[in-house]
Structure 1
Amino acid sequence: MTDQNQPPQDPPPPQQPPSNMGEGKPPNVHYCPAHDQESSARRSCCLLIFIFLLLAGATVLTVWLVYRPHKPRFIVAGAAIYELNATSQPFISTSMQFTIVMRNPNKRVSIFYSKLQAYVSYRNQQISPPVDLPPLYHETKSTVSLSPVLGSGMVPASAEVVNGLMIDETYGVVALKVVLLGKLRWKAGAIRTLKYGFYVRCDVWVGLKKGVAGPVPLLGAPPCKVDI
């Protein structure tokens, strides 16, 4: 039988985990300040390189839009045939002179030409050896002309060339192609571009009669085709 006058007992205190639990184990957090600094420096360097490339690209684009160069223009303005004879098969005799007018349409960009060569072809076959021409400087919005003499006496020719030339001389109209090739680069102020190869094809139709030598009429000379 319990004593009604006995005071109530306090509940037992909660059990605490042993104080030595987890001793000797390092915390599960790692700090690498040197690695973080290296990563931050690398990101900063990449950002600087990206900004530099972006500014350089914007500068180049701006310069290109302001000084955008256009192709030079070429046209054959005169011709003289001193010798174009197909009587000694399989050879032909060639000696010709063409006046080539070159126009630089650019207002701010000049042109340097180097390693210039010229020759003549007939029915897509070369009938004169390449002739080396001196380097040329082409100022802005200017026109210059070249008058190279092309040919070297007797040159070998195919039967198609010989027969075609004899027929054309009979009709008095000969279709020739004057070719000019070399290297060029543009210059705008202190800026110079790299050298680019160019190839110019000028189709001309000349009035030629057998036995006639000297200046001949141009029956057709459209603007030349320029590839760069």
Structure 2
Amino acid sequence: MASPPRNTRRALCTFITIFLLLAGLAVLIVWLIYRPHKPQFTVLGAAIYDLNTTSPPFISTSMQFTLVTRNPNRRVSIMYDKLTAYVSYRNQAITSSLALPPLYHATKSTVTLSPVLGGAGVPVSVEATNGLVMDEAYGVVALSVVLLGRLRWKAGVIYTGRYGVYVKCDVWVGLKKGIVGQVPLLGSPQCKVDI
């Protein structure tokens, strides 16, 4: 069998090259139009109902944080799956993880979350317990609200795969022994969001 003429091979290679360049350009344009931006999280309020450090190495707490999340995307919505929240002190969890319901975040929208975190005693190190007692006596406690989960982006009828999301909100709260309920936030910084 004879090989195809040289001009036919050259035309086929040119066609494949042009097709791949146009397909790559189309993918780049779609990505630039629908490129998703990370959601933004901010802590707006905090309430501490219980903080019991009298049974080392266990701490039992009951806290509520009001978090506001904003979807900055104009064309892409966000769907959160398997989102959990907990509070940490000096990089140690002082509340057990709480599973939050699935969340749909429409384009250019804001959603408020106010989970109550805590309950039964959580084991922590002696250093963390002592540090928490000292900070409470001083009147200022540095806490971190952490959200873990998975999210999907939705652009029109297109869904992406699931991506892991890690949100860490470092907050300073004014806390005096014996005061229960709403506590002052000393600043309201943006949270760090990793996807």
Tell me the TM-score normalized by structure 1.
0.79
Structure with the larger RCO, 1 or 2 (CA within 8 Å, 6+ apart) = 2
**Residue in structure 2 matched with residue 162 of structure 1 by the alignment:** 129
**Residue in structure 2 matched with residue 138 of structure 1 by the alignment:** 105
Alignment of 1:172-211 (within 5 A): 172-211=139-178
Q: Please list the CA deviations of residues 36-89 of structure 1 after superposition, one character each: whole Å capped at 9, or x if unmatched.
A: 139888776665554443332211110111222211100011111111121111
Question: Retained in 2: the 8 A contact 1:176–1:203?
Answer: yes
State the SS of the aligned residue for 1:86. strand
Bigger CA radius of gyration: 1
Question: Aligned partners of 1:117, 1:123: CA distance in 2, in Å?
Answer: 19
Task: Please say if 1:83 is aligned against 2:83.
Answer: no
Q: Please list the CA deviations of residues 113-149 of structure 1 after superposition, one character each: whole Å capped at 9, or x if unmatched.
A: 1111111110011111211111111111110011111
Structure number with higher strand proportion = 2
Q: Please list the CA deviations of residues 156-188 of structure 1 after superposition, one character each: whole Å capped at 9, or x if unmatched.
A: 111111100100110111110000111112222
What's the C-alpha RMSD, in Å, of the aligned pairs? 1.9
**Residue in structure 2 matched with residue 124 of structure 1 by the alignment:** 91
Q: 2:67 aligns with which of 85, 90, 100?
A: 100
**Residue in structure 1 matched with residue 20 of structure 2 by the alignment:** 53
State the SS of the aligned residue for 2:20. helix
Question: Retained in 2: the 8 A contact 1:95–1:153?
Answer: no
Task: Please say if 1:70 is aligned against 2:48.
Answer: no
Question: Aligned partners of 1:49, 1:129: CA distance in 2, in Å?
Answer: 56
Question: Aligned partners of 2:186, 2:96: CA distance in 1, in Å?
Answer: 25
State the SS of the aligned residue for 2:176. coil
The alpha-carbon deviation at position 225 of structure 1 amounts to 0.5
Question: Retained in 2: the 8 A contact 1:78–1:98?
Answer: yes
Where structure 2 has 5 or more consecutive residues not aligned to the other structure, the ranges are none
Question: Retained in 1: the 8 A contact 2:46–2:66?
Answer: yes
Q: Please list the CA deviations of residues 10-57 of structure 1 after superposition, one character each: whole Å capped at 9, or x if unmatched.
A: xxxxxxxxxxxxxxxxxxxxxxxx241398887766655544433322
Question: Aligned partners of 2:83, 2:110: CA distance in 1, in Å?
Answer: 17
